[in-house]
Amino acid sequence: MEIHLACALVSLAACTHAVDVTTAYPGPRGEAGAIEVVLNDESRAMSVTVDDALVADRKYTRRVHVDGVPAGTAHVRVATGGRCEQGATSEHDVVVAPGLTSTVVLPGPSLNVGCAVLAGLDYVGMETGMIAMAIILGAALRPGGGHHH
């Protein structure tokens, strides 16, 4: 029974992944375009402002698409950093053309040193656990069900 529960929990944890965020600029639009902020790697806590309006707040994502941004120059601030990510911020003046999408491409967040070590230890622990589960499963499937008489 405990093995089934452990397998279910491992499967559930493996299913969490970043989701692209699509949002709208919260202001008057007139002639509008879009801004897309794309990270090379996902962040667990990405926040984006456009002209000081918060459009994404601590999202687990690598892409934020903002529709309805007024044409002209928009000031975009991007902050990443959550859990084991090293915090980073950047600011960009982006030219927004009506009907077009302007893209800001940024590097993904870096792991902080402590979490990088912890992630390595976690990986070793997960591999050891998988080997142990394989041994237990192999013993259970052996003729006799792994029981000694």
pLDDT 10s digits, 101-130? 999 999 988 877 767 666 666 666 667 777
- Cβ contact 33:76 at 8 Å: no
Number of alpha carbons in the 13 Å side-chain half-sphere of residue 121 = 6
DSSP 112: P
Strand spans (E) along 31-141? 32-50, 53-70, 72-80, 88-96, 101-106
pTM for the whole structure: 0.67
The answer on pLDDT for 92 being more than 60 is yes
For 140, the token pair is 């259970």
- Cβ contact 21:67 at 8 Å: no
Amino acid 120: pLDDT: 67
Question: CA geometry: angle at 51 spanning 48 and 55, to 5°?
Answer: 35
Rounded Cα–Cα distance for residues 104 and 124 (Å): 36
The answer on pLDDT for 7 being more than 60 is no
**What type of residue sits at position 4?**
H
The answer on pLDDT for 13 being more than 70 is no
